[in-house]
Each structure stands twice: as C-alpha cells, then as structure tokens.
C-alpha cells in the first residue's frame, strides 16, 4: 500500500473488516480546491480579492458575464453568486464535468487521476463477492441467450421446411442456429443494459 493510504487511515472506513478510504474523502484531502478552480478557469482566470479569488464561473451551463465565481482556498470551498452553486473540490469537479449527485465518487476518482494521485481501490472483500457472482451471472445469461435463440429459430421453421434434401436442411439448420445465436447474444446484452 502506498503512503497515501496509510496517511488516510484516520479517515478511512471499515468495510467488512477491511479498512477502506473512499475516493471522495481522498480527493478532498489531496486536491486543493484552488488547483481545480485554476485548471477550470485557465491561466489568469482568477484574481485575488482579499482572502478570496474571483473569476468568471467555469461551469459549462453558466454563461457568466460578470465574475461571480469565488474560491476560498483557506476554507477549501467555492461559491458562484450567479448560479448559486458551491461546495468543496469534489462538488466543483462534479458540476464541471456534469456528474449526477449520486456519481460524486466517480468525479472524485477522476479528480484524483487528473492530479496524479492514486485512486483508492475497492476493498478486497468487494472483489471477492464480484468474482463469486461472476459464474452465476454468466450461466444466467447463457440461459437467456438459448431462450431467445430458440424463439428466433422458430421463425425460420417454414423456411427450413421448404428445403427438400434432408442433409441440406440439417446443415442449413445448424448454420442458422449459429447465426441466430450471435443475434440472441446481442439481444440479451442490449436488454441487460
């Protein structure tokens, strides 16, 4: 484990007995809000006014004509007086990149990557659980594929019946079964999305 993880130990959580630091906590700890604001606003985009830095709002859905965007590096927060949004560094990344509230951890992970930090890994127990569920998931998918395949195959029954030669009919049925299998796999995949 890296020093990042050890240093984060105090803030880390316990997940089924495994210590686990969440990307959101890690991003807040390691990425200064000023760095992210600077990157979004560009060179010279922010100027100092007292304890704060002020500039045009960098959020994509706010066309800011007057500088309404403020950053307070000391407190690690930002606020836009135009679109009335604000928060910490993760919230800034989330709004800037258009992630939903529920996806804050994804924005945090990208934020860590963007600034060259390691993204905390999921706890080993989580991976083990995923692995255990893998074969079951695959088997279930196979069942669904076969079911779709059989149903599609029925559509070709009249076509196959018209082939008089038995061997030829058999070969054609096998070819169809294989081709339909590919289609069925796509259908099942699309449906499970």
CB of 65 vs Zn ion, minimal distance in Å: 11
Residue 80 as a binder of Zn ion (CB under 5 A): the answer is yes
CB of 70 vs Zn ion, minimal distance in Å: 10
CB of 14 vs Zn ion, minimal distance in Å: 38
Residue 83 as a binder of Zn ion (CB under 5 A): the answer is yes
63-69 long-range contacts (CB < 8 A, ≥24 apart) are: 69/37, 69/41
62 vs 185 by CB, closer to Zn ion: 62
Whether the CB-CB separation of 59 and 45 falls below 8 Å is answered with no
Tokens of 138: 């695959």
Q: Give the distance, in angstroms, between the CA of residue 132 and the centroid of all CA atoms in the same chain.
A: 22
CB of 69 vs Zn ion, minimal distance in Å: 6
Q: Which of 117, 96, 103 is nearest to 40 (CA)?
A: 96
Q: Provide φ and ψ at 54, rounded to 5°.
A: -125, 145
Residue 57 as a binder of Zn ion (CB under 5 A): the answer is yes
Residue 96 as a binder of Zn ion (CB under 5 A): the answer is no
Residue 111 as a binder of Zn ion (CB under 5 A): the answer is no
Residue 82 as a binder of Zn ion (CB under 5 A): the answer is yes
Residue 45 as a binder of Zn ion (CB under 5 A): the answer is no
CA distance linking residue 151 with residue 166, whole number of Å? 22
CB of 57 vs Zn ion, minimal distance in Å: 3
SS3 102: helix
Applying CB under 5 A, the residues found at the interface with Zn ion are: 57, 59, 62, 80, 82-83
């Amino acid at each position: 484990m890296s020093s990042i993880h050890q240093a984060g130990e105090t803030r880390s959580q316990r997940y089924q007995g495994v210590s686990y630091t969440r990307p959101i906590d890690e991003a807040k700890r390691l990425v200064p809000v000023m760095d992210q604001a600077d990157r979004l606003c560009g060179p010279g985009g922010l100027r100092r006014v007292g304890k704060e830095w002020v500039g045009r709002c960098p959020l994509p859905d706010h066309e800011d004509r007057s500088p309404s965007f403020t950053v307070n590096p000391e407190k690690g927060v930002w606020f836009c007086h135009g679109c009335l949004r604000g928060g910490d560094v993760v919230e800034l990344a989330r709004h800037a990149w258009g992630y939903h509230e529920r996806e804050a951890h994804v924005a945090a992970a990208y934020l860590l990557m963007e600034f060259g930090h390691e993204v905390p890994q999921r706890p080993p127990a989580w991976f083990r659980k995923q692995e255990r569920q893998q074969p079951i998931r695959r088997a279930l998918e196979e069942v669904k594929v076969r079911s779709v395949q059989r149903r599609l195959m029925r559509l070709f029954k009249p076509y196959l019946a018209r082939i008089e030669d038995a061997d030829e009919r058999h070969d054609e049925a096998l070819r169809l079964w294989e081709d339909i299998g590919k289609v069925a796999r796509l259908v099942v995949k699309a449906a499970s999305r």
